[in-house]
Structure 1
Amino acid sequence: MTDTPPAASVEKFRDWRFGLFVHWGLYSLPARHEWVKNRERLTDEDYQPYFDHFEPDLYDPRAWARAAREAGMRYAVLTTKHHEGFCLWDSEVSDYTVAKTAWGKDLVGPFVEACRAEGLGVGFYHSLIDWHHPEFPIDVVHPQRDDEEAKAKAAGRDIAVYADYLHAQTRELLTNYGPIDIMWFDFSYPNHNYPDGSPGHGKGRDDWRSEELMAMVRELQPDILINDRLDIPGDFVTPEQYQPDSPMQRDGVPVLWEACQTLNGSWGYDRDNLDWKSPELLVKMLVDSVSKDGNLLLNVGPTGRGEFDPRALATLASIGEWMRLHERSIRGARPAEYTAPADCRFTQKGDRLYLHLFSWPMGHIHLHGLAGKVKYAQLLNDASEIKRIVNDPHQQAQNTTMGGVSSETLTLKLPIQKPNVLVPVIELFLS
């Protein structure tokens, strides 16, 4: 069982609504997905050149944090260690760290300082898996899973020794960098088997000693929020690479949640990946999340030199321009009690209801149940008035006269031209 997270931390998280995820490690050098070591069955020897040549001389965490803030993001989560095992800080219990590379300097501390300087909340992602650690067993998701000789040599590996290492590194991270808002562990796979059905020796709560680990996190950082990937319930759930079709629940009870999404299908820098989501789609995903009482954590994978890809920066800038005009429909917003029309989403903040139009209708839009409840309506991007029509249910439809609309339905008269924004928003002032 887990303790109830602090109510103030939960509400702060819900108010933020939009965050930056950063996946950065040695895999930025091969630049072909963060699971490259796994996908290509690379050995530690194969992977060593990336360690030897890791030199992020253009790393400017203030530029990252500034780009995030200008995009409308209010928190950021950094991968301190991904599955490859490489640590972005000078860990006392490992030599496989940035301190031992040619760069030789901590990357986590400057990131934390930059986020705080820009007013962003700070989170740490930390992999439960480690494909480099000498005591991490070769299992169903390990890069050497098909190498019988390597598996034979690794037969005596002790996951308990590795768990001590996992706990020690978590303690370092939550002791050395001041208050941390989010601990984002990844991931558990207790029931994974090989394709032929043979045991895959997946890992879960017993391997990580999850309850003990969570208790330590809460002791070190009482105000922190912990995600749901320790194979025990956490403070928030993390749908990955999909958008839920309704508010998320656990055992029928609504839960805090955050969709984590990529710009192009890869978390790490992937030079030749062209599957980029449009800024319009990403804004719709953000709106969709907030309308269902969730957050959106949007990932950028920096290059091996420590910069955000120009394509990523352009996307963040486009989202930022939309957020500049529409932030109050997102920041601090909650789901509405009303049902939005087809291809629209409602959010609400106090006595203001926000209608996000994913497609622009011709002439009118009908809002059921809102007749007599709206005292003013305007486009949010420019504060231009939207006229309201009082419907007469007895009116017969004839030629250009609208008829048959319920008296409880509020009809808005829209301009023919869609506003020049990614997703138009109508701000409704409730009576």
Structure 2
Amino acid sequence: MMKRKIGLVITLVLGTCMAMAQNKATTADIKTPKAVMDQFMDKRFGMFIHFGPVTQRGTEIGWSRNDQVAEADYDNLYHEFNPQLFNADEWVKAAKDAGMKYLTITAKHHDGFLLWPSAFSDYNISKSPFKRDLVGELAKACKKQGITFCIYMTVLDWHDQDYPIDNPHHPELNARTGNMTAFKTRMKNELKEVITKYHPFMLWFDGYWEKPWTQQDGKEIYDYIKSVDVNVVVNNRLGKISDKLGGDAVGDYLTPEQTIGKLNMDEPWESCITICNQWAWKPNDTMKSLKQCIQTLVTTASGNGNLLFNVGPAMDGHMEARQVTRLKEMGSWLKQNGEAIYGTKGGPYMPNEIYASTRKGNKIYINVFQRKDTTLNIPLLPNSKILKSYFLNGDAVVIKSDSKGYRIPLPATLPNENCTVIVLELDGNAVDIPVIKS
């Protein structure tokens, strides 16, 4: 990841939407068809997987090289890399049971090791005792189980002699001059290899912050990707990261990390957040509660974004049972309440600590996080009439209103302690309602 930010800060943003004019600005700069982006954003929930030889040390992928793990040790871990318990079908099933719609694997992180047998680098999984094509097996399993397959790639490579930096922790020790032309040529070859061989729906880049990588480099690689397959979705970390799309920004969507993005009805975004603390596997890492996990997903969707939720498999290739169980618990909630998540738009209400809203068709879903009072108070909907109100898959809800807003009586115990969904059916299209400030 961009930095070792391993603490989750769930920011329930009460700010305003980003500039309404951004749609016009992005039209000429983003080559990915709108229909493809809409398909991506409708998925709402995906699995991020950080995995590689470093799991044998239990330290962070990429970032622990030359820090917690000596360079010579780190770069030779692949000689011992043999995750015999890896089973692509089980990984994908864990994602499917969680209600996730897509999966993104760190095919190449900043340490430069490739999880596929490449024709363009010898530092790859075929040279390990494991030998198998982990990326290929995951792509096949995703196709079989109906999960959209995506790939993480890096724009820096501390192992590659053609990249000018090998030790970001101690820049004064960097002696490489590098050859960025050769480096980018190899990158293009690797990208064409994974695009044509594994057909990822999306490419998730990272590593933009180091000086050798320029904005122009990002644009060059973006254009190259689109020349290979125009439909591949690309995140905004291929160029220097920006908090908006269009203009000089490179990529198709925004990527807040370890925080929930702002409500943004104009630009697509996806928050990447860990189920524990570290991205890669760490023994006895603290795991988030089910309430945290569900409310993170709901708050993300209510802001009109996707959640890419990270799991780090253990060094032998298995996903920890406790994490798989937590994911399955999320899936159980989604089986009952997925209507309020998949294919929805965020809003119209700004999310807060008590509730968050999503909408689709003529319905608004009020996702209630906690019962702080006997009544839930929400602002009035402009030019709209509520025709029907009820708990999702449950009993009717009586709503009273006055000039100050709607008053919804709540039972002493909410139907679901993690997140209870109340449905408001309107006399018009809920998506047309402007964002309402609480």
TM range (shorter): 0.7 to 0.9
Where 1:427 maps in the other structure, the secondary structure is strand
Residue ranges of structure 2 left out of the alignment (5+ in a row): 1-27, 240-248, 428-438
Instruction: Note the C-alpha offset of 1:338.
Output: 4.5
> Which residue of the other structure, out of 126, 135, 143, is the alignment partner of 1:99?
126
Match of 1:197 in 2: none
Deviations 1:113-172 (A, max 9, x none): 111112111111001111211222226x5356354xxx34x3x43222222211111111
SS in 2 for 1:314: helix
Counterpart of 1:222 in structure 2 is 230
The amino acid of 2:134's aligned partner reads: L
1:212 aligns with 2:240: no
Deviation at 1:88, TM superposition (A): 0.5
Q: What secondary structure sits across from 2:150 in the alignment?
A: strand
Residues 90 and 98, structure 1, Cα contact 8 Å, conserved in 2? yes
Aligned equivalent of 2:278: 266
* Aligned-partner residue type, residue 205 of structure 1: Q
Q: Retained in 2: the 8 A contact 1:338–1:369?
A: no
1:233 offset after TM fit, Å?
2.0
Aligned to 2:345: 334
On the 8 A contact 1:279/1:318 being kept in 2, the answer is yes
SS of corresponding position for 2:345: coil
Partner of 2:336: 325
Contact 2:354–2:371 (CA under 8 A) maintained in structure 1: no
Deviates more, 1:14-23 or 1:342-351: 342-351
Aligned to 1:237: 254
Q: 1:111 aligns with which of 138, 150, 153?
A: 138
Residue in structure 1 matched with residue 206 of structure 2 by the alignment: 186
Q: Is residue 2:34 matched to residue 1:23?
A: no
- Distance change (3 Å), C-alpha of 1:256 and 1:104: same
Q: Which residue of 1 aligns with 2:388?
A: 376
TM-score of the two chains, using structure 2 as the length reference: 0.83
Distance 1:130 1:423, change over 3 A: same
Deviation at 1:339, TM superposition (A): 5.4
Instruction: Return the alpha-carbon distance in structure 2 between the equivalents of residues 204 and 117 of structure 1.
Output: 39
Q: Is the 8 A contact 2:79 2:127 kept in 1?
A: no
Residue in structure 1 matched with residue 302 of structure 2 by the alignment: 291
Cα distance between partner residues in 2 of 1:48 and 1:341: 45
Deviates more, 1:359-368 or 1:116-125: 359-368
Q: Amino acid of the residue matched to residue 222 of structure 1? A: V
When the two chains are superposed, the root-mean-square deviation of aligned CA atoms in Å is 2.1
1:11-410 equivalent positions in 2, closer than 5 A: 11-34=38-61, 35-40=63-68, 42-43=70-71, 45-138=72-165, 142=168, 145-147=171-173, 151-152=174-175, 154=176, 156-177=177-198, 179-190=199-210, 201-206=211-216, 209-231=217-239, 232-247=249-264, 254-274=266-286, 276-338=287-349, 343-370=354-381, 373-380=385-392, 382-389=393-400, 391=401, 406-407=402-403, 409-410=405-406
Secondary structure of 2:387's aligned partner: strand
Q: 1-side partners of 2:258 and 2:80: how far apart?
A: 31
Is residue 389–residue 399 contact of structure 2 (8 Å, CA) maintained in 1? yes
Partner residue of 2:246? none
Shift of 1:318: 1.7
Matched, 1:417 2:429: no
Aligned length: 389
Instruction: Give the partner amino acid of 2:263.
Output: S
Amino acid at match of 1:64: W
- Partner Cα distance (2:353, 2:128) in 1: 54
Identity across the alignment (%) = 29
Give the Cα–Cα distance (whole angstroms) in 2 for the partners of residues 272 and 76 of structure 1: 24
Which secondary structure state, in structure 1, belongs to the residue aligned with residue 158 of structure 2? coil
Which string of whole-angstrom CA distances, capped at 9 and with x for unpartnered residues, describes residues 215-260 of structure 1?
Answer: 2211222211111112242100100111234328xxxxx3111011
Secondary structure at the aligned position of 2:83 is classed as coil
